[in-house]
Structure 1
């Protein structure tokens, strides 16, 4: 097929208005799925030009604005490029093995018996000790702002949930976590992260690090190799080291982790990635890299841990679908947490583990103790079911966007930033961004000078292992007040002369 031609002109079918669970699917998501699936199935191959938004709008009886929004979403996820005069073209490279992988599982469980066996092997656990908060500390405030959380609403939901719970429910030991919470988590992930899952796929944990610890101890033997991002989340790297595994550090560029580095090392059993908003650089893993990573895992019989730590907070577009959403080979273990969404010491997280590994994880969980307390689980289930979580996320997203804009606007007037000698990246989502320093500043000298002004900074080098990057610092802003953000930004900008 010659470049510039549209291989499937206007006969792409629009998916049904309801999904396999009977839930309504809006027009935007239906159009998105039609085009994304056509790209993944190579009906629209690499380099192909998509039909124009006007033609697709007429064919599907949608507004042109809806189709343009779908094109922008596909571009943000790395499936297409949009260039003036060239139209919208497919840029994602689809590996051959992806086409032979089985389609994603139906959201309903294929085998109730398997879920029953899994439940019989696990108990839940107690919450981990809370971490030190960084509320109000510029600029290491990289956590949910507790000022936005309504304790009154939370108390009401917890009281109602406990009051309506049966004695049997309060006393039963449900290995993967309380069923009402797992049902709400699965429904949320289907609606907001594109993950086809059911309540029986969900394991409730005390947070993402707890989930990763369970995965590491269930899958790794001493001497196994684990691929991690460089720079990356060092606390998780330590968890892998405690299992006796050796780490392979893969560098990160504008498309995310370099999969070629993973391929170069034989014996890698597990890869840990943060695809939606790489920690700490903030880049989004491209569709081509995502598919290449899935292909690698299928070829090597390896696992991928997807840490989706802050995906609910995107400021230029809707949250991106998870890597798990296109995992046809069941190689991705998806990890998330409500600690980042609500407040840091809530200590409720979850994972979606493929059936092939879930029984092992549950068996370990049974050995080391119970999960989160029933009160918190039932309260959170009610909080989600009655729309309070979505409402809170909407409020928090707007507040964090305002704080981000205060900091970025304040830094933009600094001479070094205005002249392009210092720059900001990774600010499209999450709780932080990267400030790349101008010459002749070193990270150590800049952090020391900022500390003298009462501003705490994390040097980027502290998150690097082998990679050597230009001097930069991490700017966390979400757990600040507007006044704190303005003052601290003014102090920081004064150094960027």
Structure 2
């Protein structure tokens, strides 16, 4: 008996389809089989797996094929590898989840970043009553460093969008131009559902998708649909200020829940009575940039099942991952239909598009349709049909690939110039994905003074304090890089490094 087999209490069966031609790759089939074994409890947390060599021999595949599958599951947070200890299951699956019916579900990675660098002072408490107003991108402009949350509209060729608009107008019949379907254009809803299934791991149908004007509109509709008035809504702290504002405008009492390196702290959420919904940004937490771990996602879904509460998933920056392929959404793991998924094309295409969507659980489809019928259709049918064409012919996927490459180059340009000009004077987190990263200042630094010094150099920064309510976090600022050209990113990176170096010297 080999060493690998001797260490394993479970003889894993050969995944189906490994001998088939076409369809999913062998590494995909192996990864899917192991993932499902973990989610069904056949591989328990902490349990050891056979070596890749042993499994390759048993399953009659190349060792490299098994290695690729293992690495994917490590990246997703299901497995962990320690030199000398082999590969073990790292995802913790709640007992109730093990009893749920099987579903085609994947999960996203836990990105190991420190929210509070060791050199920073966690004792400061920052509050800003005007944070919801201050954190809005209103008044910012493309090319202004370092505005966060703005896409570069120049990355979508104008000729491409014009062509799809023209084709949409030419193809629409008079009856379609005069129609007002509350949920949105049927063709676009179907294209979004297919896209989400392929790229975000969400199994949904066209009738589950409701077209909106963007994330804020989606959040407002969801708050109304789940009837939050007079009830409690939990939000991340720090978090997206408009979520808190929209909950309050809809008459909800807002409860703050802290965030740690694995995402929203579900243990703290579970201690709060009477929560009707928890609003989260699991892909790239706003603003800290951490990615919610597999274990934490399953724990959150289990909480929602127990409490019959809702999870409102804002897929913030979900399409933009720079260390691996974009990872599936939390909704992809939802086996009890408690997650409400909100997405937007305003960041993947351009801010002026004003087009987003909600993927609603079955229980909320009728309320959302009634709301949209009463409030009016938010997006014109021509734009909707043009976007359906953009998705349908592959132009949208090509645009996302080009955008990821461009944004990664801009991020790298800023990081390289910070390292060259201000090494040892800062820490970075959240850079693995999204439109911004966190720049953590030295312990005891004054955020407001640093932001003012940057503004004097022509740099716009948002202090972390404006996103905090009860959270005690070290001093930091958000650095957005996507709305800059590569040349602007290089120039602004040098300027920011100069501000950092000068600010540190001024403190000394």
Report how far residue 15 of structure 1 moved: 5.9
TM-score normalised by length of structure 2: 0.87
1:79-158 → structure 2 map (5 Å cutoff): 79-104=78-103, 132-158=139-165
State the partner residue of 1:120. Answer: none
1:350-429 → structure 2 map (5 Å cutoff): 350-415=357-422, 418-419=423-424, 421-429=425-433
Report whether the alignment pairs 1:212 with 2:219: yes
TM-score normalised by length of structure 1: 0.89
| Residues paired across the two proteins, number | 465
State the partner residue of 2:127. Answer: none
Report whether the alignment pairs 1:488 with 2:492: yes
State the partner residue of 1:260. Answer: 267
Report how far residue 24 of structure 1 moved: 4.0
Report whether the alignment pairs 1:227 with 2:226: no
Partners of 2:56 and 2:66 within 8 A in 1: yes
Report how far residue 142 of structure 1 moved: 2.7
Match among 312, 316, 340 for residue 305 of structure 1: 312
Alpha-carbon distance in 2 for matches of 1:366, 1:59: 58
Report whether the alignment pairs 1:47 with 2:46: yes
Alpha-carbon distance in 1 for matches of 2:138, 2:61: 49
Alpha-carbon distance in 2 for matches of 1:448, 1:372: 39
Partners of 1:15 and 1:34 within 8 A in 2: no
Match among 480, 483, 506 for residue 479 of structure 1: 483
State the partner residue of 1:179. Answer: 186
Superposed CA deviations along residues 102-145 of structure 1, whole A, max 9, x for unmatched, are: 33389xxxxxxxxxxxxxxxxxxxxxxx9545311111143111
Q: Secondary structure at the match of 1:168?
A: helix
Superposed CA deviations along residues 182-215 of structure 1, whole A, max 9, x for unmatched, are: 1110111111111111111111111111111011
Structure 1 495/403 Cα, relative in aligned 2: closer, same or farther at 3 Å?
Answer: same
Structure 1 431/66 Cα, relative in aligned 2: closer, same or farther at 3 Å?
Answer: farther
Structure 1 62/242 Cα, relative in aligned 2: closer, same or farther at 3 Å?
Answer: farther
Partners of 2:444 and 2:475 within 8 A in 1: no
Partners of 1:230 and 1:249 within 8 A in 2: yes
Q: Secondary structure at the match of 2:500?
A: coil
Structure 1 57/343 Cα, relative in aligned 2: closer, same or farther at 3 Å?
Answer: farther
Alpha-carbon distance in 2 for matches of 1:152, 1:196: 33
Report how far residue 49 of structure 1 moved: 1.6
Report how far residue 471 of structure 1 moved: 0.3
Q: Secondary structure at the match of 2:348?
A: coil
State the partner residue of 2:31. Answer: 32
State the partner residue of 2:8. Answer: 6
- Which structure 1 residue ranges, 5 or more long, are not aligned? 107-129
Structure 1 430/59 Cα, relative in aligned 2: closer, same or farther at 3 Å?
Answer: farther
Alpha-carbon distance in 1 for matches of 2:46, 2:475: 37
Superposed CA deviations along residues 16-64 of structure 1, whole A, max 9, x for unmatched, are: 999xxxx943444322221111110011100112232334445555554
Alpha-carbon distance in 1 for matches of 2:219, 2:272: 22
- Which structure 2 residue ranges, 5 or more long, are not aligned? 106-136, 502-508
Structure 1 60/372 Cα, relative in aligned 2: closer, same or farther at 3 Å?
Answer: farther
Report whether the alignment pairs 1:448 with 2:447: no
State the partner residue of 2:442. Answer: 438
Structure 1 7/246 Cα, relative in aligned 2: closer, same or farther at 3 Å?
Answer: farther
Report how far residue 352 of structure 1 moved: 0.8
Superposed CA deviations along residues 227-266 of structure 1, whole A, max 9, x for unmatched, are: 1001100011100011111111111111111001110111
Structure 1 469/148 Cα, relative in aligned 2: closer, same or farther at 3 Å?
Answer: same
Alpha-carbon distance in 2 for matches of 1:455, 1:17: 57
Structure 1 45/347 Cα, relative in aligned 2: closer, same or farther at 3 Å?
Answer: same
Q: Secondary structure at the match of 1:44?
A: coil
Q: Secondary structure at the match of 2:368?
A: helix
Alpha-carbon distance in 1 for matches of 2:169, 2:437: 40
Alpha-carbon distance in 2 for matches of 1:103, 1:456: 48
Query: RMSD over aligned Cα, in angstroms?
Result: 2.2
Partners of 1:17 and 1:26 within 8 A in 2: no
Partners of 2:443 and 2:474 within 8 A in 1: no
Q: Secondary structure at the match of 1:435?
A: strand
